[in-house]
Amino acid sequence: MVGRPAVLISTVILIISFACGPGNNPNLIDIEIAEAREMVYSENPPLVIDVRTTQEFEGELSHIEGAILIPHYNIKDSLNFIRGLNSRNILVVCRTGRRSKIAGNELANLGIKKVYNLKGGLREWYSNNGN
């Protein structure tokens, strides 16, 4: 049986996780489609991490050219690989911006600097004449 201190600690952790949820880390920056396009097509493009599934990456919406696929559920397992490439800014993308926000927040919480989340995701990217 779980005692009162354990329940209290669990409750405090839950409250803190909601208060410090996605978007509250200063190393995670939400950006609009126009700013993301500027970054992607610049002389020093970011590392684009697509956090969707393989089927989505190869599916109807396709993916941003040069993006690497790391499904959101594998982000933590890929941390050393990502750290090895972290001399560049990182742009995290998904279909709508929800999974990329979660994955980007996780990267930022694990110490990765300058993580950008594509607001609106690839649905917005392609609906606004993206490539």
pLDDT tens digits for 91-127?
Answer: 999 999 999 999 999 999 988 888 999 999 999 998 8
Q: pLDDT tens digits for 39-94?
A: 999 999 999 999 999 999 999 888 999 999 999 999 999 998 888 876 789 999 99
Exposed, middle or buried by CB within 10 Å (0-12, 13-18, 19+), for 17? Answer: exposed
pLDDT on residue 20: 47
Domain regions of the chain by residue span: 26-127
Architecture per CATH, domain 26-127, reads as 3-Layer(aba) Sandwich (3.40)
* Radius of gyration of the CA atoms of the chain, in A: 16
